[in-house]
Amino acid sequence: MTEPTHKRGLWATRMGFIMAASGSAVGLGNVWKFPYITGQNGGGAFVLVYLICIAVVGLPIMLSEFTLGRKTNLNPVGAFRQLKPGTPWVGIGFTGVLAGFLILSFYGVVGGWTLAYVYKALTHSLDQFANPADAGKFFGGFIANTGEVLFYHALFMGVTIAIVIKGVHAGIEKACDILMPTLVVMLVILMIRALTLDGAMEGLKFYLYPDFSKLSGHSILMAMGQAFFSLSLGMGAMITYGSYLPAKENLTSATLYVVLFDTLIALLMGLVIFPAVFAMGLKPTEGPGLVFSVLPAVFTGMPMGWVVSIIFFVLLAIAALTSAISLLEVVVAYFIDQRGWDRKKAVLTMGLIIFAIGIPSGLSFGVLADFKLFGRHFFDSVDNLTANYLLPIGGMLTAIFVGWVWGTKEAHKEIERHETTFHWAAYWEFVVRYIAPVAVAIVFFAKYFPAK
Ligand code: PHE
């Protein structure tokens, strides 16, 4: 069943849409994951490969998703159903809604950690570690604490629900309009602080000088997966956000802005982390703990460390929140458009269920640490299923769908519906049909190749 457009929300301004879509893209993927995998994969050369992936996979798929959304004014399931009713392609939409549901279940847990760290920063718990090992132990102790983890998880989901319930314009757009510029200002302050530390240069060199001898085949595959996750692609988040666009919107320039913005934030984040880590004599290869356990050690040794620690964790929480909003919105849009639920019922019901499903993920570092599914604890299982299977498959099929099934000709018509000239049409058609599906297939099968 397809609903008339007027029942659905619309973005009020072009800027509001770009802020919301950038808010979805800029998240833990940029602030937490990008620095630590860059650190683990040798720095500069990895960054270069990541940028190539953004251009040949991220850009075309993002435009495809926006186009599908604006053409149909529907959630992912409705979008595929309207264009090819009764075909298995509708399954891409269902996979997307399921992915949104599952990603948010563990994303909400990490979102809770960020809120907890804002509180801990404010109360001076994060700027007085004697050494990095102590900061790591502190983090380990925190994520194993059932009561604390659940409390902040619930708080984070509560804030997400409160924003999404207000709807597309009054909730999501308004929140992102304020939060995204705040995030940029905080990032710039942090960058200035990091770059003016003694010894910052060594970090810059690691980050910016491409040393190709450090690049393995496996790093290339990781760079591609990261491009996907960071741009919120492969599950219909951008279809959903595109569905609230008025017809006059220029999709190609919106795509360029969002991709540029997301990439810029990730790159700036590197300019914060690596100078700081090197200046404090720490290693960039720490892994997932880089942000939560290495940075507090950095703050401890840094002039103005207390203020910097607060700014950093507020920034991390904002980034997580604007992405969580988009994850919930995908699920909610499905229940509103396809099932005829009202927004309030959809947000409350789904928000609570997603919170409940996230509880075992939240407890995976404490009481449920020994509960394993196929050798992984719950958090890792959900993370792995979504990031390594559902998103790549969804992205590859979306590219194939737009490139070959619905067809670039129809898509092109939609892109130019309102007197927009699509300047890079030839590039887009080529990458969406040939390069993106093949490249993503390689990522997907990556795990069958031996990692270095
Ligand atoms: N892009 C978000 C981040 O970088 C994560 C995300 C993935 C959000 C998929 C929505 C959909 O953290």
pLDDT in tens, 66-79: 999 999 999 999 99
Domain assignment present for residue 169? The answer is yes
Tell me the CA–centroid distance for residue 146 and ligand 1, in Å: 26
356 in a structural domain: yes
Instruction: Using a pLDDT cut of 70, give the percent of the chain over it.
Output: 96
Low pLDDT (below 50) residues in the chain: 1-6, 452
Instruction: Supply the pLDDT for residue 448.
Output: 64
- Does the Cβ of 67 fall within 6 Å of ligand 1? no
In a domain, residue 452? The reply is no
Q: What is the DSSP string of 31-84?
A: IIIHHHHHHHTTSHHHHHHHHHHIIIIIHHHHHHHHHHHHHHTS-HHHHHHHHS
Sign of CA dihedral 96, 98, 101, 107: negative
Nearest atom in ligand 1 to the alpha carbon of residue 320 is 12
226-264 pLDDT tens trace: 898 899 999 999 999 999 998 888 999 999 999 999 999
Nearest alpha-carbon partner for 317 in 130, 118, 163: 118
**Confidence at residue 383, expressed as pLDDT on a 0 to 100 scale:** 82
**CA of 437 relative to ligand 1 center, distance in Å:** 20
| pLDDT at position 305 | 85
**25: Cβ below 6 Å to ligand 1?**
yes
Output the pLDDT for position 7.
63
**At 372, which helix (H) or strand (E)?**
strand 372-373
Domain that holds residue 93: 5-446
Domain CATH for 261: 1.20.1740.10
Q: What angle do helix axes 174-195 and 14-25 make, rounded to 10 degrees?
A: 60
DSSP state of 169: I
Instruction: With respect to residue 451, please indicate whether it lies within any of the assigned structural domains.
Output: no
Which DSSP category does 131 fall into? S
Largest CA distance in the chain: 63
Kindly state whether residue 398 falls inside one of the protein's structural domains.
Answer: yes
> Domain for residue 318, yes or no?
yes
Report whether residue 111 contacts ligand 1, using a CB cutoff of 6 Å.
no
* The total number of structural domains that make up the chain: 1
Cβ count near 424 (within 10 Å): 14
Which of 22, 24, 322 gets mutated to test ligand 1 (max ligand atoms within 8 A of its CB)? 24
Tell me the pLDDT tens digit for each residue of 418-441: 777 899 999 999 999 999 999 888
Q: Please say whether the beta carbons of 22 and 237 come within 8 A.
A: no
Residue 171 lies in a domain: yes
* pLDDT given at position 446: 61
Phi first, then psi: what are they for 166, rounded to 5°?
A: -75, -10
Identify the CA nearest to 222 among candidates 403, 64, 39: 39
